[in-house]
Amino acid sequence: MSALHGARVRFEIRLPRDRMIPDRLRRLVRRALLSARAPALFTLGLLRWRRSAPPSPSRVGRILVVRADRLGDMALTAASLLDLRRHFKNAEITVLAPPAPLALLEAHPGVDRRVPLGAAGLPRDLVGRFDLAIDFTPDAALRGALLVNRSRARYRIGFGAAGRQACFNLKGPWADPARHVVDLNRDLIAALGATPVAACPSLYVTAQEKGEAQSRLAGLGAASPRVALHPGGHYPSQRWGPERFADLISELTGRTGAACIVMAGPGEDDLVRRICAATPDALALGALPVRGLMACLASCDLFIGNNSGPLHVATALGLPTVSLMGPTDPARFSPRGPADRVLRRDLPCSPCDRGRCWHHTCLRAIEPEEVLREAEAALASRLVLPEAR
């Protein structure tokens, strides 16, 4: 005892290796590039002639709308197309976007023509064809702004950020990162002299598409109530664990009798396989084109998933949703419909908007039982879906 009393005990504390160093460096490089880009583009913009006021509806016969990003971004923009239609009543509206997001707009009353955006950029036959070109990209990304600039439309507008406003000749709103994307879109509509009316995203499926989806779901043995689940997400950090989805499906089926239909996007088949291997209650929908996925969503009673494209598509179709939000900023991307429920953890590090995370606490801390309670409440008070919207 006396020997121990005189002994010195040495403690060595080792901090864990920072696995995020490459990501931090990439973010620093990106910020530096944006900071360097902004003055150059701003100077270029000073040399260009700008229009002092937006065009009157009578002077606009053709409109080009550019959305150069992903599925969810297009879903969040869809309502603004209706506002454009109301204001520019006689104009032909063309949308330029990648093929998958573009497919969302089939049967949309605010669109006359859809043009797929490929690696080659703006098709030559679109150059000089439009009176007004609009870029709905609500951040510093430059591709949409460059496409609008190349269109040579008489009036060009988009969001200002890191100098990208040099591509436009009408003053648009600032791409405020603290505002919701839907509100930013409404700001852009207002900058054109229009009154934004549509407050919620809106997409549509036809009666034929919905009938085909009903047959497909019946073939899986999916009786009502039907719950669509999407375990994927563009970034790994956005995904709740597939094993937790499996636990949720087992409990939800046992307690409510719901048919749980698991959907997957490109490259997400392994997530579905892991869920189906962990529970016999999961019904794998299989690969579907975008329109088929939309129709199946419109034929369900509830959507459960991560904050990703299918979530925003489900919301735009009027489907009640329960979503799990990890690194994504809720002020910017959270669904806001009357039947949307969002689960998240407000941690000191969130929202970080990182594509990867070494601890992933924000989503790991959400338990299946929490999601189950929200899903049961949503099914108990579910809204009646609009017919073939």
Indicate the pLDDT class of residue 263, thresholds 50, 70 and 90: very high
* Residues 171 and 257 reside in one and the same domain: no
> Is residue 352 predicted with pLDDT exceeding 90?
no
Alpha carbon separation from 142 to 41, 50, 102, 135, 185 (Å, rounded): 11, 19, 19, 10, 17
pLDDT of residue 128: 96
Mean pLDDT of 92-120: 96
Mean pLDDT of 75-103: 97
Cα gap 332→369, rounded to integer Å: 27
> Is residue 323 predicted with pLDDT exceeding 70?
yes
Indicate the pLDDT class of residue 9, thresholds 50, 70 and 90: low
Mean pLDDT of 138-148: 94
Domain-ending residue, one of 191, 216, 244: 191
> Is residue 161 predicted with pLDDT exceeding 70?
yes
* Residues 231 and 261 reside in one and the same domain: yes
Residue 254: give its domain's CATH number. Answer: 3.40.50.2000
* Residues 291 and 349 reside in one and the same domain: yes
pLDDT of residue 346: 84
pLDDT of residue 386: 45
Residue 196 lies in a domain: no
Q: What share of the chain in percent tops pLDDT 70?
A: 89
Indicate the pLDDT class of residue 388, thresholds 50, 70 and 90: very low
Residue 374 lies in a domain: yes
pLDDT of residue 383: 46
pLDDT of residue 327: 83
Higher pLDDT, 33 or 310: 310
pLDDT of residue 18: 58
Cα gap 96→141, rounded to integer Å: 16
User: Which residues lie closer than 8 Å to 186 by C-beta, 6 or more apart?
Assistant: 80, 83, 196, 199
Residue 20 lies in a domain: no
* Residues 108 and 132 reside in one and the same domain: yes
* Residues 164 and 247 reside in one and the same domain: no
Q: For residue range 213-258, what is the model confidence (pLDDT) as tens digits?
A: 999 999 999 888 999 999 998 888 888 999 999 999 999 999 999 9
Mean pLDDT of 294-321: 96
Residue 388 lies in a domain: no
pLDDT of residue 198: 79
The residue behind tokens 């999961």 is 282
Mean pLDDT of 174-187: 95
pLDDT of residue 234: 84
* Residues 153 and 58 reside in one and the same domain: yes
Mean pLDDT of 266-284: 95
Token pair of 189 as six digits: 């509509």
pLDDT of residue 355: 65
Name the most confidently modeled range: 230-234, 284-288, 351-355, 373-377: 373-377
pLDDT of residue 20: 63
* Residues 185 and 251 reside in one and the same domain: no
Element (H, E) at 323: strand 321-325
For the entire predicted model, the pTM comes to 0.87
* Residues 58 and 183 reside in one and the same domain: yes
* Residues 173 and 285 reside in one and the same domain: no
* Residues 179 and 280 reside in one and the same domain: no
Cα gap 24→145, rounded to integer Å: 27
Cα gap 338→231, rounded to integer Å: 23
* Mean pLDDT lowest among 26-40, 118-132, 191-205: 26-40
pLDDT of residue 10: 67
User: Number of structural domains, the chain?
Assistant: 2
Indicate the pLDDT class of residue 276, thresholds 50, 70 and 90: very high
> Is residue 348 predicted with pLDDT exceeding 90?
no
pLDDT of residue 5: 59
* Residues 213 and 241 reside in one and the same domain: yes
